[in-house]
Amino acid sequence: MKTKEYIRPKSLKPTQTHYCPGCTHGIIHRILAEVLDEMNLREKAVAVIGVGCSCFAERYFNFDCIDVAHGRAPAVATGVKRANPNLVTITYQGDGDMTAIGSAEALHAAIRGEKITSIMINNAIYGMTGGQMSPTTLIGQKTSTSPYGKKAEEAGYPVRFVETLALQEGVAYAARTAVNNIGNILKTKAAIKKALQAQIDGKGYSIVEILSTCPTNWGVSPKEALKWIEEKMIPVFPLGEFKEI
């Protein structure tokens, strides 16, 4: 049997994260760090980090980072990339950050075909502010601001954001993945690699939306949270590659 040694990616700092038990942010940080190491991009990378539970990610990533305002990461990343096209520019944002307050910034970065890569963590809820409804909250899902369950006629439908972006000509790569099992984790890693390659090749904007857990605000155990992604989220947010040029 082949064994593989666990080596901490150079793009990740040897430190504990603040994430709740069962939260999959840590897995996604690790995947991104592995990809940057494997593609030899650490010394050219910059993470533009939005607001949400990942807003302290600069303490975990071991490469250049910028903390920015809610929703504005694609605009900041645009400024970075236009001023220094050599930098591999990645936005790291949650679903609230990207699909609510930052929807204009994300959509227009895609429309412009901005040569940046967005990683959007979709856990169907505002995590950091304590479990409020997000544009990706599922119909019927109870949150602190949809205490009777989200109703479409009041709050609208869960936004399929990555599909919307994929319609834009400036988008080179758009995919939705999940991190609820090993197979999907590996697919997520492959998708992030493709997204970064699209940026490096100068093809345009790339995005990977990743379905992620929030056991604390969903009110379920870490194990149940993985099942919740499988049973509740994936039927609404289908996995796959929506665009690849």
Partner 1 sequence: MGKVLFKGAEAIAEAAIRSGCKFFFGYPITPQTEVAEYMAKRLPQVGGVYLQAESEVSAINMVFGAAATGARVMTSSSSPGVSLKQEGISYIAGAELPCVVVNIMRGGPGLGCIQAAQSDYFQAVKGGGHGDYKNIVLAPSTVQEAVDLVSLAFDLADKYRNPVMILGDAVLAQIMEPIELPEEKKELPEKPWAITGCSNREQNIITSSYPVPEDLEAVNERLNAKYKQIIKEEQRWEEDGVDDAELVFVAYGTSARIAKDAVETLRNKGKKVGLIRPITLWPFPKKAFKNRMAGKKILVVEMSKGQMVEDVEIAVKGQGEIYFYGRTGGIVPYVEEVLEVAEAILNNENVKKWGEDDEN
Residues lying near partner 1 in the complex (CB under 8 A): 42-46, 48, 55-56, 58, 61-69, 72, 75-84, 86-87, 104-105, 108
DSSP 13-79: -SS---PPTT-SHHHHHHHHHHHHHHTT-GGGEEEEE-SSGGGGGGGTB-SEEEE--TT-HHHHHHH
Q: Which is nearer to partner 1, 42 or 189 (CB)?
A: 42
CB of 30 to partner 1, least distance (A): 17
Q: Which is nearer to partner 1, 111 or 139 (CB)?
A: 111
Q: Which is nearer to partner 1, 114 or 209 (CB)?
A: 114
Q: Which is nearer to partner 1, 116 or 174 (CB)?
A: 116
Q: Which is nearer to partner 1, 33 or 185 (CB)?
A: 33
Outline where 56-181 has alpha helix (H): 73-83, 95-96, 103-111, 152-155, 161-166
Cα separation, 42 vs 61, in Å, equals 10
CB of 19 to partner 1, least distance (A): 14
Q: HSE of 201 in the Cβ direction (CA atoms, 13 Å)? A: 13
Tokens representing 227 are: 């099942």
- Length of the chain, in residues: 245
CB of 63 to partner 1, least distance (A): 5
CB of 94 to partner 1, least distance (A): 15
CB of 202 to partner 1, least distance (A): 15
